[in-house]
Amino acid sequence: MEEASKSPRVAGQPLLFLVAADPLRWALLQALSRSDRRVVELCAAVGRPQNLVSYHLRRLRDSGLVTSRRSSADGRDTYYALDLPRCSVLFADASAALHPGLAAVPPPDAPFREGRRPVSVLFLCTGNSSRSQVAEALFNQEAGALGRAVSAGSHPKPVHPETARVLAERGIDATGMRSKQLGEFSEGRFDYVVTLCDKVREVCPEFPGSPAPIHWSIPDPAAAGDGGAARKAFDDVAAELTTRISYLIKTIETTATEGAMP
């Protein structure tokens, strides 16, 4: 089994450089930068055997750069995800370790390019009762003129009461919110299609224009039951979606600024 470089550790060397300097681990981080993936998908992405990929994934998990979650579609599978806030902290620490002044330099704002059409985003889950509804509302609140999101489900259910609560706590009025069938949007053109549950990922159709799919493996908060457990589950999902959507919007802003988006 391959090992990371045996070079001696330099005093004060940032954790990011110790962990991500290995070429295979860096390739795994890049593979996870857009979408959550299973081991078999990561093996295909980096072209290395499963035992080697699993070893390096464990190193990334131990460092906190990568998290894992059992698949809700098949409990034998595990989805791996990049912990973007943790990565952001470690990159900032690495910059400050090189020169203290770098820690005080904020990233430049990405201006909205005049004349560029807004991007369109579709969030999908099974029931369209919680996760995708929250994602749609949070994106539309945050994105402004940058783009617009809609959501749907493969097997729609009524909107969960906790969905309205977590949105209200974030200043979003859920009045008129309804569950929508995936088929309503099967002919739509989207720049981003984001699946939020492992089951709907397996049945997600191709969309016109072949937008590259994104998968976020997020547990169904409605499965937590009622009462305090449900409240915490919805709070956790809303917090995770808030973080993921903020990074998605930054990605869209950067892509638009570079001129890759129409």
User: Would you say 177 and 153 are in contact if contact means Cβ atoms under 8 Å apart?
Assistant: no
Query: In Å, how far are 1, 64, 254 from 246, measured between CA atoms?
Result: 38, 20, 12
Give the strand order in the sheet containing 37-38: 37-38, 78-82, 66-70
125 is catalytic: yes
Mode of pairing for the β-strands spanning 192-195 and 213-215 = parallel
Which tokens hold the place of 53?
Answer: 């990929």
Catalytic residue among 89, 97, 174, 204: 204
By the 10 Å C-beta count (0-12 exposed, 13-18 middle, 19+ buried), 226 is classed as: exposed
Catalytic residue among 16, 90, 125, 238: 125
Query: In Å, how far are 18, 68, 85, 157, 215 from 26, measured between CA atoms?
Result: 11, 17, 17, 40, 20
Give the strand order in the sheet containing 147-153: 147-153, 119-125, 192-195, 213-215
87 is catalytic: no
Conformational region of residue 242, where left means phi above 0, alpha means psi within -120 to 50, and beta covers everything else: alpha
Which tokens hold the place of 177?
Answer: 């919110």
Coil, strand or helix at 37: strand
Catalytic residue among 66, 82, 197, 218: 197
Q: Which residue has the tokens 């400050």?
A: 96
CA distance 239 to 56: 28
Return the active site residues.
125, 197, 204
